[in-house]
A and B are shown apart, each in its own frame.
Chain A
Amino acid sequence: MHTDQLIACPTCDVLNRDQDVKPRTVARCARCGTVLAAPKSGAMTRIAMLSLTALILLAAAAGFPFLELRAQGLSHQASVLDAVLAFSSGPMAPLSLATGLLIVLLPAARYCALIYTLAPMALGWHPAPHAATAYRWAERLKPWAMAEIFIIGVAVALVKVSGLARVGLGPAFWAFAALLVVTILTDNAICRLTVWKTLRARSAS
C-alpha cells in the first residue's frame, strides 16, 4: 500500500486507511477516536464567508464606541483601544501589547489567513501561493486568538461596575457579542484534516 492512502493520526500516530467519507459522516481514528475527516457540503464556502463576517465585525468592534459609564453627572466613554491601552503606562506596557495581540491583531490575522487559504478553494480554483503556510499559521494562532474570551471578560466587568454606576452599551459591544457567535460557528465548521486533504488534492491537479 502506498503511503498516500494512509493517515497517521495526529493525536496517537496510528496509521488509518484513508477512505472516501460521505458528506455529514465522520471518520475517526481506530484507536483514540480523534476525528480524521468530517466533510460537509459547502464547508469551504461557509468557513470563508464566516471568516469574512468575523473580520468585518472585528473592525467594527475596534472602531465604534464600546461602553459608556455614567455616575454622579460624570460620564466616560471607552473603546476597545482604551481597554488595550489600559496597561500602557509604566512597567505594565508589555501587557498592553499582549492584550492588543490577543483580542484584535491575532484574531484578525487568523481570519485573514483562513480567507486567503479557503476562498480560492470555495470558488474551485487552485490554492493561492503559500496557502499551506497560511493555513498552518491559522491553526497555530487558534489558541491565542481570544476575542471570544474578551467578551466574557466584559460581561464580568459589567456586573462588577453595575453597583457603582450606570453602564451604556455601544455598537462595538454588540459587534463583539456577534463575533462570539461567528467564532464558534467557524471553529465548528473547520475540519483540519479535510482542509489539508483538499489543499493537497487541489495543488496536485
Chain B
Amino acid sequence: MENSESPQRFLTAAAAGLAGCRACGTANPGGARACTCCGSPLAAADPASLQRVWAWLAAGLIAYVPANVYPMLRTTTFGRTSENTLIGGIAELFSHGSYGVALIVFFASIVIPVAKFLAIAYLAVSVRRPAALGSHGRLMLYEVVEFIGRWSMIDVFVVAILTALVQLDFAAAIAPGIAAVSFAMSVAFTMLAAQSFDPRLIWNAESENLNDHA
C-alpha cells in the first residue's frame, strides 16, 4: 500500500476539531449541525451508525427469500397457465439458447444481490475488526457496491415491460407474480444499506489500529 509508510501525515477534519461535509467537502467549525455551504446535516463518523446498515441489510436479506421462492411471472398461453420463478426464468432463457441474456439476468438477479449482501456485511464487520483487505481495497469494494447495486432493478423492469406488452387476449398473456414486489424491496433495502454505510469509518479503523500498535 502506498500510504503505509507514514499514515500520520494525514490530518482528518474530525481530528482537527472541524466537521467535514460529506456532500460538498466544506470544513465546517466543529460542533456545527448543518453545513454552512450546502445545508446538509453534519454527523461525525460513528460506528454506531452501522446499526442502520445492519438493519437495512437484514430487511434486504429477508425480502430476498420470497423473491426466490414465489413466482415472478405468470404466463397464460391458450388457457394454460405456467408460473416462473427467478431461477426458472433464467433456466428457460438458457434452454432457448439466449446465453448472453441468460447470463445478464443471472448476474443481475442472483450474483449481484448475493455478492452485495456479502460485501456490505464484510465492510460493516471490518470497521471493528482488523481486515485482510486494506483500506484502499475496501474503499474500492464500497464504490463498486454503490455503483452496481441499482442495476439489480433490471428484473423488476423486465416483468413490468412483459406484463404491459404481452396482452394478446387468449393467445398469450403475462401477469406479474408477487416475487416482483419482494425483489424490488430487496434491491431498495440493500441500496439503503450501502448508502447508510459511512466510508469514513474504513479509514478511522485504520488509524485506530495503528495507534494500538504504536
Contacts and interface: CB of A to CB of B under 8 A. Distances in A.
23 contacts: A8-B27, A13-B45, A14-B13, A15-B20, A31-B203, A32-B203, A72-B171, A74-B171, A78-B161, A82-B164, A98-B188, A99-B156, A102-B153, A139-B23, A149-B153, A149-B154, A153-B160, A153-B161, A156-B105, A157-B157, A161-B162, A196-B24, A196-B37
Interface in A75-121: 76, 78-79, 82-87, 91-92, 94-95, 98-99, 102-103
Contacts of A15: 11-13, 16, 18, 20, 27
B168 A31 contact: no
A198 to B, nearest CB: 11
A15 B188 CA distance: 33
Contacts of A36: 25
B166 A161 contact: yes
What DSSP secondary structure best describes chain A's contact surface? helix
Interface in B95-135: 96, 98, 101, 104-105, 135
A76 B18 CA distance: 61
A184 interface: no
Chain A contact-residue range equals 35 or more
A193 B104 CA distance: 34
Interface in B146-171: 146, 149-151, 153-169, 171
B116 to A, nearest CB: 13
A1 to B, nearest CB: 10
A159 B20 contact: no
B66 to A, nearest CB: 13
Interface in A131-164: 132-133, 135-136, 139, 143-144, 146, 149-150, 152-157, 159-161, 163-164
A146 B153 contact: yes
B171 A192 contact: no
A56 B30 CA distance: 44
Interface residues of B, number: 67
A167 B21 CA distance: 50
B196 interface: no
B18 to A, nearest CB: 6
Contacts of B105: 156
Nearest to B194: A143
B121 to A, nearest CB: 20
B203 A13 contact: yes
A69 B168 contact: yes
Given A31-B203, A136-B40, A13 B165 contact: no
Interface string B170-211: 011000101011001000100100010001101100000000
A30 interface: yes
Contact of A32 (B139, B167, B184): B139
B180 A87 contact: yes
B79 interface: no
B176 A87 contact: yes
B139 to A, nearest CB: 6
Contacts of B22: 10
Nearest to B92: A160
Contacts of B37: 132, 196, 199-200
